[in-house]
């Protein structure tokens, strides 16, 4: 009787352990805070679930707001991964201590070195260029062939751009510091500001529209905003793209300034392995093609060709500056912009 009782007990324990193991597998998930809108990221997350069996929970919101939420939640945050836009936001998350470094040979293979943090705190998922847009009836392309040309006094007050608080502009100036140093960059910003056609305002799309309307002759905006206009069936948008030309700056030297959307594993993550698997999935060819095309951006995986509306904008030489350097120069970039009067 004792022997039989022991076997029944052992069998019961085995069943419990098996059921627990099954529950662990079924419960595998990753919790995501994303600055990417749900309709842009959800199809890929659904594919990730189908491929790996790892379920997900998704919270979307504004990038800075998500960062503040991670700060306030601290180690109690349910987030395993933060997806956000612009390397400046990735750098801010790293400096705030809400990310942890992770290493993966697959991520290193899939993502160009300049598009990932040197210490593994964040990884790029798609890239975009900070492009010059111009009215060909008012400005000769050779007059604005380099970012540096935008400070030329002979150009005049023709430039429309967003405010200095915009993270895209801060990253551009940080890249200029990386190439030219603080003093030379500050002189450039001062000349650039003198050529403003109006007070910095609005979003990137508004700068392109302002060029088309004649309010200014030159504008600066990320490439994907023009890609959206190219993809639009709205006649007003088509009218804009017919009037505006794209200048890929610095093609004879370092190349056009690039930036990122990207992601990092949070310091609070309890599902680190699953978070890394998601990063690896998003950096692989299938996801890269979809992610870049749907966002009108460029893959960070060099094996994946460009696709979607941005192909119409032509080919270009990209600046190979390692974007992890933005962390080093971003704070100085803000001070330079402030001293030079860029508001």
pLDDT at 251: 98
pLDDT at 27: 56
Cβ 123 vs Cβ 263: under 8 Å: yes
The Cα–Cα gap between 149 and 195 comes to 11
**DSSP label at 62?**
-
Q: Where are the domains of the chain?
A: 29-127+259-312, 129-257+324-339
The Cα–Cα gap between 41 and 48 comes to 11
pLDDT at 200: 98
CATH node for 29-127+259-312: 3.40.190.10
Mean pLDDT for all residues in the chain = 92
Question: Is 29-127+259-312's fold the same as 129-257+324-339's?
Answer: yes
Q: Is a pLDDT exceeding 90 seen at residue 92?
A: yes
- At 8-51, the pLDDT tens digits run 333 333 333 333 343 344 459 999 999 998 988 999 999 999 99
Q: How large is the C-alpha radius of gyration of the chain? A: 24
Cβ 315 vs Cβ 256: under 8 Å: no
* Helices 167-180 and 182-194: angle between axes, nearest 10 degrees: 130
- At 57-66, the pLDDT tens digits run 999 999 999 9
Lowest mean pLDDT among 10-14, 147-151, 184-188, 225-229: 10-14
Instruction: Give the angle 49-51-52 at the CA atoms, nearest 5°.
Output: 65
Q: Left (φ > 0), alpha (ψ -120 to 50) or beta: where does 193 sit?
A: alpha
- At 178-205, the pLDDT tens digits run 999 999 999 999 999 999 999 999 999 9
Q: Is a pLDDT exceeding 80 seen at residue 7?
A: no
Averaged pLDDT for residues 224-247: 97
Cβ 340 vs Cβ 182: under 8 Å: no
- At 265-319, the pLDDT tens digits run 999 999 999 999 999 999 999 999 998 998 999 999 999 999 999 999 999 999 9
pLDDT at 40: 86
Calculate what percentage of the chain has a pLDDT beyond 90: 91
**DSSP label at 123?**
E
Q: What is the 3-state secondary structure (H, E, C) of 253-272?
A: CCCECEEEEEEEEECCCCCH
pLDDT at 18: 33
The Cα-based distances of 164 to 99, 186, 339 in angstroms read: 26, 13, 11
Beta bridge partners of 299: 126
**DSSP label at 99?**
B
State which fold the 129-257+324-339 domain adopts.
Answer: D-Maltodextrin-Binding Protein; domain 2 (3.40.190)
Q: Is a pLDDT exceeding 90 seen at residue 1?
A: no
Which class for 19: exposed (0-12), middle (13-18), buried (19 or more C-beta within 10 A)? exposed
């Amino acid at each position: 009787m004792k022997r039989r009782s022991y076997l029944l007990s052992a069998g019961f324990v085995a069943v419990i352990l098996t059921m627990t193991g099954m529950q662990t597998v079924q419960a595998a998930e990753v919790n995501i805070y994303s600055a990417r809108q749900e309709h842009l990221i959800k199809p890929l997350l659904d594919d990730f679930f189908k491929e790996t069996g790892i379920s997900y929970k998704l919270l979307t919101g504004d990038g800075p707001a998500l960062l503040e939420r991670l700060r306030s939640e601290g180690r109690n945050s349910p987030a395993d991964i933060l997806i956000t836009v612009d390397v400046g936001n990735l750098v801010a998350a790293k400096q705030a201590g809400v990310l942890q470094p992770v290493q993966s040979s697959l991520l290193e293979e899939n993502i160009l070195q300049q598009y990932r943090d040197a210490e593994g705190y964040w990884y790029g998922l798609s890239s975009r260029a900070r492009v010059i847009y111009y009215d060909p009836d008012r400005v000769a392309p050779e007059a604005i062939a380099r970012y540096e040309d935008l400070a030329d006094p002979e150009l005049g007050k023709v430039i429309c751009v967003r405010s200095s608080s915009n993270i895209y502009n801060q990253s551009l100036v940080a890249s200029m510091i990386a190439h030219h140093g603080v003093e030379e960059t500050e002189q450039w910003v001062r000349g650039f500001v003198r050529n403003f056609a109006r007070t910095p305002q609005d979003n990137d799309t508004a700068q392109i529209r302002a060029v088309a309307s004649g309010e200014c002759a030159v504008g600066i905006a990320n490439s994907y905003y023009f890609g959206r206009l190219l993809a639009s069936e709205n006649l007003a948008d088509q009218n804009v793209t017919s009037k505006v030309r794209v200048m890929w700056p610095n093609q004879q030297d370092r190349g056009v300034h690039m930036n990122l959307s990207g992601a990092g594993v949070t310091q609070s993550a309890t599902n680190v392995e699953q978070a890394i698997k998601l990063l690896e999935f998003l950096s692989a060819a299938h996801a890269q093609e979809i992610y870049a095309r749907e966002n009108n951006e460029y893959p960070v995986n060099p094996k994946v060709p460009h696709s979607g509306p941005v192909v119409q904008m032509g080919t270009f030489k990209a600046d190979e500056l390692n974007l992890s350097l933005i962390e080093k120069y971003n704070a100085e970039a803000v001070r330079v912009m402030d001293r030079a009067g860029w508001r």
